[in-house]
Amino acid sequence: MRAQASGRKDRASSLTPSVVSGMPWRVTEVAVLPDFRLKVRFLDGTEGVAEMAALVRAADAGIFAALADPERFAEAYVDLGAVAWPGGQDLAPDTMYRGIKEHGIHTPL
């Protein structure tokens, strides 16, 4: 049986609105810098650096200890508005945003 072509357009995409977050602290870009630092940009254009060395090297780093390997740390990416890594680690974007907005830098610890 042959499928029949229809002159009507698929309108499903017009029925489902795209997801737009109005939260300024959503991360839109991340770049890995030397010495366990991240340059991040947020939805509102705010940019800054997250200094991660103390966290990944801390005795109580927990799941972040795996990121002390520079190759693993370099796998950072943006996932749903947060900085994340393939091992399941992620950073709270609102806390990072607040630190960067106030001081130009965020140091989690």
- Does domain 20-106 fall under CATH 3.20.20.150? My reply is no
Helices (DSSP H) in 30-92: which residue ranges?
Answer: 53-57, 70-73
Question: Would you say residue 52 has pLDDT above 70?
Answer: yes
How far, CA to CA in Å, does 23 sit from each of 42, 43, 45, 71, 79? 9, 7, 12, 31, 15
Name the pLDDT band for 97 (thresholds 50, 70, 90). very high
Q: What's the pTM?
A: 0.77
**Contact predicate 105/80, CB 8 Å:** no
Q: Hey, where are the domains in the chain?
A: 20-106
For 74, other C-beta atoms within 10 Å of its C-beta total 12
Q: What percent of the chain has pLDDT over 70?
A: 81
Averaged pLDDT of the chain = 85
Buried b (16+ CB within 10 A) or exposed e, 10-30: eeeeeeeeeeeeeeebbbeeb
pLDDT score, position 4: 46
